Amino acid sequence: MTPSKYLENLLASQNLSDTQEKDLQAHKKEVTDFLREEFGTDPVIKYAGSREKGTMICDRYDLDIVCYFPSSDERSLKEIREDVANRLSEKYLLTHKSSAERILDLKGSDTPGDFHIDVVPGRFIKDTKDVFLHVANGDKERMQTNLKVHIDHIVNSGCVPVIRLAKLWAHRNNLRIKTFVLELFVVEALSGYQNKGDLRKGFIKVMEAFKDDFSSTQLVDPANTNNIVSQLVDDSEKRAISQAAEMVLEKIKDSDEVEEWQDAFVDEGDTSKSAHGAAAATTVAYTAGSTFQPNRPWGGYDSGE
């Protein structure tokens, strides 16, 4: 098997299984119905994030549901967010992210529900499709953005498969980087690159960019150039990612050995027999002695869309 074929199979193994997809849809409907019961028809409630961008991986995934209230809502953004959080907390176990409420499970559940859902409250800006989001961390309490612009920027970039590989590489190597930062950086790294459709060449190009340019590249929100997205990653995290990219390049840049590529993705399994969904593939991938052990997809750092 060639490295290119290995990467194709690896990506195929990262598609959600039918069971995972069914569960995700059921949880999405349950949460959406609950929000409708609580708030009526006022807010716009729909998919966002990696699901709509096509960048989801089953090793670590969540579903973003935006809950955007009309511009005529006179409450502050903080009040809107607190209201959404308080209502959700009546039914669900939550953890708070910078601009979202992460649903972990039903309250009082005997078995883990694995909801994988983030609810992003916001308020539309009058006469636009932009929104203000409340931001819990940082210098500013609100952020103006447009998630539809985010989605279109990533979907139309031609970089989605390489983005998924980079997300998997970062996750399995325990690297801290927000999802949207990673997505924007991959698009920037492959801008104008003629071989972005080649998984092997595209991934190596991204690793070279992480090694050489990640610490200095300024990434801006395509929906609002006042939002400097690269500032969400601190210097120590940038150095760790650059060093990890340098190490992986030493293994794979000129290598046709599939074992070297497997090592780069902390993968001791056989992905040559890829099936739709990762339930079987990941079971063999995390074999005894592997340096990577799977966490719940929401565990660990705040991936952040």
pLDDT, one tens digit per residue, over 76-126 is 999 999 999 999 999 999 999 889 999 988 887 766 666 778 999 999 999
Which residue spans of the chain are classified as CATH 3.30.460.10? 18-148
Q: Quick one: what percent of the chain has pLDDT higher than 90?
A: 69
Contact (CB, 8 A) for 210 and 216: no
pTM of the entire predicted model: 0.84
CA–CA gap between residue 247 and residue 115 (Å, rounded): 35
pLDDT in tens, 204-227: 999 999 999 999 999 999 999 999
pLDDT in tens, 152-172: 999 999 999 999 999 999 999
Which residue spans of the chain are classified as CATH 1.10.1410.40? 3-14+153-285
Q: How far is CA 274 from the centre of its chain?
A: 22
Closest CA to 242 of 207, 217, 203: 207
Sorted by sequence, the CB contacts under 8 Å of residue 5 that are 6+ apart come out as 272
CA distances from 234 to 37, 213, 300 (A): 40, 15, 17
pLDDT in tens, 139-150: 788 999 998 899
Output the six-digit token pair for 279.
């339930």
User: Residue 108 has what pLDDT?
Assistant: 76
Closest CA to 151 of 237, 228, 249, 46: 46
CA–CA gap between residue 254 and residue 211 (Å, rounded): 16
User: Residue 180 has what pLDDT?
Assistant: 92
Spelled out in words, what is the top-level CATH class assigned to the domain 18-148?
Answer: alpha beta
Architecture of the 3-14+153-285 domain: Orthogonal Bundle (1.10)
Closest CA to 45 of 25, 27, 28: 28
User: Residue 113 has what pLDDT?
Assistant: 63
Does the pLDDT value for residue 287 go beyond 70?
A: no
User: Residue 138 has what pLDDT?
Assistant: 66
CA–CA gap between residue 123 and residue 129 (Å, rounded): 10
Matching residue, tokens 């549901």: 65
The mean pLDDT of the chain is: 86
Closest CA to 228 of 102, 103, 136, 139: 139
Phi, psi of 171 (to 5 degrees): -65, -50
Length of the chain: 305
User: Residue 111 has what pLDDT?
Assistant: 62
Sorted by sequence, the CB contacts under 8 Å of residue 167 that are 6+ apart come out as 55, 57, 60, 179, 182
